[in-house]
Structure 1
Amino acid sequence: MSVDSPKRFNIWTPLTFSVILILGILIGFQLNKYLSNKRPISNAIERNDRLEEIIDIVNARYVDSVNADSLYEDAVTGILKHLDPHTVYIPARDMTSVTEDLEGNFKGIGVEFYILNDTPMITSVLKNGPSADAGVQTGDKILKVNDSSVIGITSDGIISKLRGIEGSIVKLSLLRPSENRLLEAKVKRGVIPIFSVESSYMIDPVTGYIRINRFSATTYREFMKALNALLGQGMKQLILDLRQNPGGYLDAATAIADEFIGDNKLLVYTQGRASDKEKYMAGQKGKFEKGRLAILVDEGSASASEILAGAVQDWDRGVVIGRRTYGKGLVQEQFELGDGSALRLTVARYYTPSGRSIQRPYDKGREVYEEDFENRFHNGSLNGPDTLGPADTIRYFTEEKHRIVYGGGGIKPDIITPYESSPLAAELYELLSSPALSNTVYEYYSRNSKEMSVYTSFSQFDASFTITPQLMTALKTNLGKEHAAQVAKVWNDNKALDFIRQRARAIIARMLFRSNGYYQQINKTDNVILRALGILRGKEYTAIVGG
């Protein structure tokens, strides 16, 4: 053994050194390749130390006391201002609410409320939810939460008191104006859904309506439940309302698009400087690949809404109706940070099946970018023909009929429906959006909630409920306190008064039947809905997309 050992050492030593040398070269090559796109670590440390040093000096020597966390947030915000408008920093304190909206639920007691004359009034109670089980009713006013008065509280304040740990108990002191009595309720907090499908119903014997307010983790499941219910009622054509839908999860939008578009067709693709091209294809037999389809959009429809509308338009699958969309063609990825905050960073652009990016320019800064709606209002493109012309965009063609479509400024609808304009439009809009209108109707319901309980379905409500002269008198009086000139003009115009009656009916319908009741009522006079119905029922649909 002792004689053979030196020989074995002499044989293996060169081979071992050779292997180590080769591995070292390979590792060095890969490390150099990895670091070629990185800042030197000394620079990263130096820059981080510089920021830390500045904040430490300010914190120690500045003339007034400062909040170090705020300085960090301001520093991050300053960095992000040099990027696109949709790259944002989310502080840890805001993460819960942001996550709840996208995940589709929160822990609470299952009520909606409105601050009426400094007092929270319950405007809706979730059916079979915690508050309903505890006997809480729509129209009840909340006076105390766990023995703490909530008179004069803000909306955020009451939310923080009502939400909490699942299974915990919250005690409510309530006033029920319709019975003129005080009562207490102990409510056990539970998981409360945040519905993204706000409304679904049959407008007529063959036309269904679905409204989606965001694309969350539960949207596709909610949509399929609504779609199947409408198909079961004989639906042959569908109006999908995406107005004021700011977007959300891309997967939810493509899953719904897959229900309309088949044959393994491209729905959207994403690509970025550091992100490979990723295609989203139609992969399953959709439930509504046949049948007339109208997609409603407006200047508030963004991101995932534009992906869905763009896919339908590019494949000539349906008609897009409304006003030009927001124009957000960027994809964000969320990076969780150590303190519980997050960075939502733009990592790619998305492109519709025809290859167009609908992202509008942001090279003039965030302020100009955010003023787009106001500029469109002033230049007349919201209440007249859309001013976005070929000179401002890039021309593309749809996949089936080779119609011209444009990229670079949002989805331009096939049919433009501007805001209604009339001699009293400005005055009427001011009254319809006034808190005095909502306050008056909520107070009326609160005092008469017992009588309202006879309405068990929207069809029954629609057939028999009327706005009383007493309510109209109260509306005129309360609106007149802040809008005397507008009231003087509107109250002499029967058509304008009909809009006010419809809005009052819609608010009451929401309290009785939640959002579904509101939209069933308000859609009766919605010019975009009426235009969509006309197109779906007539030859204009065939002229646009065929079928």
Structure 2
Amino acid sequence: MEKKTTRNLGIAILMVCLFAIGFVSGRLFQANNASISNVFSGRSDINFQLYWNVWDLMQSKYVDSSKIDDQNMLYGSIKGMVNSFGDAATVFLDPEETKTFNEASEGKLFQGIGAELGYDGNNQIIVVSPLEGSPAKAAGIKAGDYILTIDGVAIASTDTVYDAVAKIRGEAGTKVTLGILHKGATKAVDIEITRSEITVPSMELSYIGDNKDIALFQVSRFTDSSYSEWTKNWDTNVDSIVDSGVKKVILDLRGNPGGYFDAAIYAADDFVGAGKVLAQEQDSAGKIQKFNSTRGGKLESMEVVVLVDGGSASASEILSGALQQSGRATIIGDKTYGKGTAQSVLDLSDGSTLHVTILKWLLPDGGWLNHDNPITPNIEIANSEKDFTKGIDTQLNKAISEIEN
């Protein structure tokens, strides 16, 4: 029996920390020990014998018998079936991939290059965002980069992000070479990256400006070990902002791949007065449920600027969209990733999981959040390559200028 939980939201984007799989977009729903009946029993229009014929032929005819592995054949078959739907967020994860996914969503220590991977609108594998201080960012990997090869081997059209994750992850101190096509470039380059141990704090708070009168609240994900742990961490930081006496907040959601949908709603509630629509969900029957602000926000009277980029996805888009459409914040940066679907997570008997898209997430105005309808900043400004190499954060500087004036 399937039951709703507030488990991770995110986007079939993957954090390449161990390579850590991070966030599936939308609220995740989970069912324990799911039992799925064979709905095809007795159907004469489906020739399942064809499947078993191919199975037997591969085992009896394939030239390299050392590659015959019944378990891998089973998992590959299931993945092929799931991938046939053409939905990058609907995936089957084997037990090892499931373990990595769960660890990543809890922000545990990883070994890898420290980047988030996802898909563009054509299901091509791209870098959503390199993590701050990561080997990937130090090597020049940027949001929007296409990964063409891994250690000289081309990514196949059938490879999923999860396949890329398995090939890129590795022990700290080892190296991996990625063939990268930078956004807007016409020629790919090889970039060698040394993997390292990486931890990702969910949020950090500092004070900036000449008089330290601006709170810079950086939220890297909407997950921790649990939803309650995340909200506790959020409340601690919000209380610190209130106690500091500042009246201006820059909320930095750049590179934030998502997390708990409920966390995004909880956060929005601190900025928006009670009774405002923060987000909506639409099921397969077209039924819409609205999520309204209820608490009366601790930060409701403060001036707010939100920073976003192409690595801001899912829950971070829910939050920034709620603040933008309620008139509570000016959004600055690049257009966001554009991902607004919810997955049901089914725990299978052998430790595998099946992630199935079941809902669409809508913005307060009813628009569906997707690649063609991301969050468009009020002020679009990019961090240029020139400024990047000089360590200049053009987007943050613009946010400071706007909020000070």
Q: Give the TM-score normalised by structure 1.
A: 0.47
Instruction: Establish whether residue 200 from structure 1 lines up as the match of residue 205 from structure 2.
Output: yes
Instruction: Establish whether residue 100 from structure 1 lines up as the match of residue 100 from structure 2.
Output: no
Aligned partner of residue 104 in structure 2, secondary structure: helix
Aligned partner of residue 304 in structure 2, secondary structure: strand
Compute the displacement of 1:73 (Å). 3.0
Instruction: Establish whether residue 76 from structure 1 lines up as the match of residue 52 from structure 2.
Output: no
Aligned partner of residue 42 in structure 1, secondary structure: coil
Q: How much identity, in percent, do the aligned residues show?
A: 29
Deviations 1:141-184 (A, max 9, x none): xxxxxxxxxxxxx973359xxxxxxxxxxxxxxxxxxxxxxxxx
Aligned mates of 1:254, 1:82 — CA distance in 2:
30
Superposed, 1:249-398 pairs within 5 Å as 249-273=260-284, 276-360=287-371
Larger relative strand fraction: 2
Quote the residue 2:125 is aligned against.
none
Deviations 1:232-265 (A, max 9, x none): 2222111111111111221111110111112222
Q: Of 510, 526, 530, which aligns to 2:393?
A: 526
Aligned mates of 1:249, 1:531 — CA distance in 2:
29
Compute the displacement of 1:61 (Å). 3.7
Deviations 1:185-215 (A, max 9, x none): xxxxxxx996311x21111332101111111
Cα contact 2:40–2:46 (8 A) shared by 1 = no
Quote the residue 2:94 is aligned against.
91
Instruction: Establish whether residue 410 from structure 1 lines up as the match of residue 374 from structure 2.
Output: yes
Quote the residue 2:219 is aligned against.
212
Aligned mates of 2:282, 2:365 — CA distance in 1:
15
Aligned mates of 1:214, 1:56 — CA distance in 2:
46
Q: Which amino acid aligns with 2:348?
A: L
Residues 1:242 and 1:232: Cα distance change in structure 2 (over 3 Å): same
Compute the displacement of 1:268 (Å). 0.8
Aligned partner of residue 359 in structure 1, secondary structure: coil
Larger relative helix fraction: 1
Cα contact 2:343–2:357 (8 A) shared by 1 = yes
Compute the displacement of 1:62 (Å). 2.4
Aligned partner of residue 43 in structure 1, secondary structure: coil
Superposed, 1:74-223 pairs within 5 Å as 74-79=76-81, 80-105=83-108, 156-157=170-171, 195-197=201-203, 199-204=204-209, 205-216=212-223, 217=227, 218-223=229-234
Cα contact 1:269–1:352 (8 A) shared by 2 = yes
Residues 1:112 and 1:353: Cα distance change in structure 2 (over 3 Å): same
Aligned mates of 1:309, 1:41 — CA distance in 2:
47
Compute the displacement of 1:356 (Å). 0.7
Compute the displacement of 1:47 (Å). 5.6
Deviations 1:313-334 (A, max 9, x none): 1111111110000111211121
Q: Of 240, 247, 269, which aligns to 2:251?
A: 240
Aligned partner of residue 400 in structure 2, secondary structure: helix
Cα contact 2:264–2:316 (8 A) shared by 1 = yes
Cα contact 2:382–2:394 (8 A) shared by 1 = no
Residues 1:155 and 1:72: Cα distance change in structure 2 (over 3 Å): closer
Aligned mates of 2:235, 2:111 — CA distance in 1:
25
Residues 1:409 and 1:93: Cα distance change in structure 2 (over 3 Å): same
Q: Which has the larger radius of gyration?
A: 1
Aligned mates of 1:193, 1:307 — CA distance in 2:
25
Aligned partner of residue 156 in structure 1, secondary structure: coil
Q: Give the TM-score normalised by structure 2.
A: 0.63
Residues 1:277 and 1:239: Cα distance change in structure 2 (over 3 Å): same
Give the unaligned 5+ runs of structure 2. 1-37, 115-132, 135-167, 174-197
Aligned mates of 1:114, 1:337 — CA distance in 2:
30
Compute the displacement of 1:339 (Å). 1.8
Superposed, 1:16-95 pairs within 5 Å as 41-43=41-43, 50-65=50-65, 66-79=68-81, 80-95=83-98
Aligned mates of 1:528, 1:100 — CA distance in 2:
31
Aligned mates of 2:305, 2:113 — CA distance in 1:
33
Q: Which amino acid aligns with 2:239?
A: N
Aligned partner of residue 74 in structure 2, secondary structure: helix
Compute the displacement of 1:114 (Å). 9.2
Residues 1:158 and 1:535: Cα distance change in structure 2 (over 3 Å): closer
Quote the residue 1:400 is aligned against.
none
Compute the displacement of 1:290 (Å). 1.3
Aligned mates of 2:172, 2:359 — CA distance in 1:
39
Aligned partner of residue 214 in structure 1, secondary structure: coil
Between the two proteins, the alignment pairs up a number of residues equal to 284
Residues 1:90 and 1:323: Cα distance change in structure 2 (over 3 Å): same
Quote the residue 1:384 is aligned against.
none
Instruction: Establish whether residue 420 from structure 1 lines up as the match of residue 388 from structure 2.
Output: no
Aligned partner of residue 312 in structure 2, secondary structure: coil
Q: Which amino acid aligns with 1:89?
A: F
Aligned partner of residue 170 in structure 2, secondary structure: helix
Compute the displacement of 1:306 (Å). 0.7
Cα contact 1:275–1:347 (8 A) shared by 2 = no
Compute the displacement of 1:74 (Å). 2.8
Aligned partner of residue 226 in structure 1, secondary structure: helix
Cα contact 1:202–1:230 (8 A) shared by 2 = no
Aligned mates of 1:113, 1:419 — CA distance in 2:
25
Aligned mates of 2:316, 2:255 — CA distance in 1:
9
Compute the displacement of 1:112 (Å). 8.4
Aligned partner of residue 326 in structure 1, secondary structure: coil
Residues 1:56 and 1:251: Cα distance change in structure 2 (over 3 Å): farther
Q: Which is bigger in relative contact order (C-alpha 8 A, separation at least 6)?
A: 2
Residues 1:112 and 1:63: Cα distance change in structure 2 (over 3 Å): closer
Aligned mates of 2:242, 2:43 — CA distance in 1:
62
Aligned mates of 2:206, 2:44 — CA distance in 1:
57
Cα contact 1:244–1:298 (8 A) shared by 2 = yes
Cα contact 2:274–2:292 (8 A) shared by 1 = no
